[in-house]
Amino acid sequence: MRNTVPELSFQIFSGKLILGTRENLCSSNFAKTLTMDSTVGRSFLRNRRFDSFFNTSTDSSNVKEPPKITVKKKEEVRFRPRAENEYVDDDDDDDNGWFCTLISCVRIVTCFVTMMITTFIWALIMFLLLPWPFERIRQGNVYGHVTGRLLMWILGNPIKIEGTEFSNKRAIYISNHASPIDIFLVMWLTPTGTVGIAKKEIIWYPLFGQLYVLAKHMRIDRSNPTSAIQSMKEAAQAIVKNNLSLIIFPEGTRSKNGRLLPFKKGFVHLALQSRLPIVPIVLTGTHRAWRKGSLHVRPTPINVKYLPSISTNDWTADNIDDYIKMVHDIYVKNLPESQKPLL
């Protein structure tokens, strides 16, 4: 015989929930019905997820309110000023990827090998020209033009040069300095008959340091201000006597983030002693191509701009700070926002 499960039904009488079969609920015999108060009934129904439909309580305090959903507001993004030593670069994503890193390493190694080869060749030439110091200066410039151009070709940076009409005269050439590439550029683009000034420790650089000295470039002791000033005077006398030009980085060191640093007084002392005009060279984009302390190079565009020469005939030693500020302001005016100094 087939077993059947009786169908249960619900009925509410005076705030009570009556549970039983349909026959029991319809008959007058309630002995076999199961009577549950509102609490038990709600528990029974809650287990079956019917509580929202069968709430027999008239007490509004027992009614559960739906949970409150709070939506957190997005925190306001506040842009902080960049720190002075923080690198500024809008193209950092280009540094990612093993392929870019591999190409960068190949370029750097190729530059190093090329520079060692050309330096070795010209070092031999310099030794042969020891009795002729002025010819060594000229050969030093030839070395710079050849090596600098080769290295920039290997790095693959598109270069735009402006104001070349101001680059073919005897002068003190100054340049901002934010990358190792700056050295290659000034080696290539300064006219023949130009010497440089560097820290005295450069002599310890293998091959390049010895070639630097043989090419009659000048060195100063930056740790000794008195000695440095004396070296500046001797350098000024040498360039006047031998009809030479001079290249110097007035910041004294490379910028870590591409922004222009304060200028030292050395180039003003040289101008006061030699009375040569000053030709500013503004380099933009080199800090993106090869940043200080990095082994990653990128073929980003570079711009080289020669500015009109600044006469120093009426300069006096009493206004050195004013001259420094004037030249510094010229650079600030001609640099993009990403390379201007932070206020």
Flag whether 33 is in a domain. yes
* Residues paired with residue 35 on neighbouring β-strands, in sequence order: 18
Same-domain pairing of 133 and 21: no
Same-domain pairing of 223 and 277: yes
Same-domain pairing of 42 and 119: no
pLDDT in tens, 10-57: 444 444 444 454 445 444 444 444 444 445 445 544 554 444 444 444
Q: Cα separation of 211 and 176, whole Å?
A: 24
Residue 216 sits in a domain of what CATH number? 3.40.1130
Flag whether 83 is in a domain. no
Same-domain pairing of 145 and 221: yes
CA angle 177, 318, 228 (to 5 degrees): 45
Same-domain pairing of 39 and 97: no
Q: Cα separation of 291 and 323, whole Å?
A: 29
Q: What pLDDT, on the 0 to 100 scale, is given for residue 82?
A: 47
Q: What pLDDT, on the 0 to 100 scale, is given for residue 264?
A: 92
Same-domain pairing of 52 and 96: no
Range of the domain at 181: 92-339
Same-domain pairing of 20 and 108: no
Q: What pLDDT, on the 0 to 100 scale, is given for residue 65?
A: 56
Single-letter amino acid, residue 159 = I
Same-domain pairing of 170 and 304: yes
Using CA atoms, how far residue 22 sits from 1, 33, 79, 193, 285, in Å, is 22, 10, 72, 116, 89
Flag whether 249 is in a domain. yes
Flag whether 41 is in a domain. yes
Provide long-range contacts, Cβ within 8 A and 24+ apart, for 52-58: 54/10, 54/17, 56/12, 56/15, 56/16, 56/17, 58/15
Same-domain pairing of 293 and 164: yes
Q: What pLDDT, on the 0 to 100 scale, is given for residue 52?
A: 45
Same-domain pairing of 35 and 106: no
Total domains present in the chain? 2
Using CA atoms, how far residue 336 sits from 79, 92, 160, 253, 258, in Å, is 20, 18, 15, 20, 10
Flag whether 49 is in a domain. yes
| Residue 284 burial by Cβ neighbours in a 10 Å radius (0-12, 13-18, 19+) | buried
Mapping DSSP to helix (H, G, I), strand (E, B) and coil, where does residue 160 land? strand
Q: What pLDDT, on the 0 to 100 scale, is given for residue 342?
A: 81
Q: What pLDDT, on the 0 to 100 scale, is given for residue 149?
A: 93
pLDDT in tens, 123-153: 999 999 999 988 999 999 999 999 999 999 9
Same-domain pairing of 293 and 206: yes
Q: What pLDDT, on the 0 to 100 scale, is given for residue 87?
A: 42
Per-position DSSP letters for 189-241, written without gaps between them = HSPTTEEEEEEGGGGGSTTHHHHHHHTT-EEE-TT-HHHHHHHHHHHHHHHHH
Flag whether 161 is in a domain. yes
Positions in the chain short of pLDDT 70: 1-96, 343
